């Protein structure tokens, strides 16, 4: 069975905007998302525990956020293509119920949900594609020979030229699947 792993934060919905709104309340010097030029941009501005309080707050309130346009169409197209769809998110296990409810409310197709702080454990010989924005996860997948697709962000643009297919938005990724480019 061929699998595709699909990230949630900044892949299926706009995680950066609500995160910025929370972080700037903690430290007014937090740069805007377009200036997050490294994955751990926050390290210069706050303690790790404070950063993850903000992240967990967004995950706890997942139902407040709508998915990106074309999220439903993308996931359904992946399924119709015969791929086993694994929704994977870096989040605490106690957030699984909220994520599952969000996916169901928005009719976002999946075969399996994985929540943990290590998506790499999912990368077996059946994983053919990764749709994610995290540089570390993408780099690991590339090393495993997995085709990686991502929305281009300031925090992952340093990976241009490494074999990742970058797109502007989820609609472009959906069009890739729809036209058979994937």
CB 20 within 8 A of CB 101: no
Tens digit of each residue's pLDDT (9 = 90 or more) over 89-122: 999 999 999 999 999 999 999 999 999 989 999 9
Backbone dihedral angles phi then psi of residue 166, each to the nearest 5 degrees: -100, 140
Phi, psi of 131 (to 5 degrees): -115, 105
The structure tokens listed for 104 are: 């169901």
Handedness of CA 14, 143, 119, 174 (dihedral sign): positive
Q: 132 φ, ψ to 5°?
A: -160, 160
Question: Span 44-68, mean pLDDT?
Answer: 95
Per residue in 142-178, pLDDT tens?
999 999 999 999 999 999 999 999 999 999 999 999 9
Counting every residue, how long is the chain?
A: 182
Q: Which residue has the tokens 């309130």?
A: 61
Instruction: Return the exposure string of 22-48: e unless at least 16 CB atoms fall within 10 Å of the residue's CB, then b.
Output: bbeebeeebbebeebeebebbeebbee
- Percent pLDDT > 70 in the chain is 100
Give me the CATH code for the 3-14+67-178 domain, please. Answer: 3.40.50.1000
- Kindly report, as residue ranges, where domains of CATH 3.40.50.1000 are found in the chain: 3-14+67-178
pLDDT for 38 beyond 90: no
How much is the pTM? 0.95
pLDDT band at 51 (very low <50, low <70, confident <90, very high): very high
Using the predicted structure, report yes or no on whether residue 82 has a pLDDT greater than 90: yes
């Amino acid at each position: 069975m061929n699998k595709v792993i699909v990230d949630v934060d900044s892949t299926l919905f706009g995680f950066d905007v609500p995160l910025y709104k929370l972080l700037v309340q903690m430290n007014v010097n937090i740069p805007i998302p377009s200036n997050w030029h490294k994955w751990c941009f926050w390290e210069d501005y706050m303690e790790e525990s404070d950063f993850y309080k903000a992240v967990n707050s967004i995950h706890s309130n997942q139902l407040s956020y709508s998915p990106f346009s074309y999220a439903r169409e993308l996931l359904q197209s992946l399924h119709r293509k015969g791929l086993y769809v694994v929704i994977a998110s870096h989040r605490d296990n106690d957030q699984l119920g909220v994520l599952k409810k969000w996916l169901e409310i928005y009719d976002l197709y999946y075969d399996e949900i994985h929540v943990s702080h290590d998506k790499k454990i999912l990368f077996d010989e059946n994983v053919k594609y990764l749709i994610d924005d995290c540089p570390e996860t993408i780099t690991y997948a590339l090393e495993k020979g997995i085709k990686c697709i991502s929305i281009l962000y300031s925090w992952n643009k340093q990976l241009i030229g490494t074999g990742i297919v970058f797109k502007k938005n989820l609609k472009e990724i959906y069009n890739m699947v729809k036209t058979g480019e994937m």
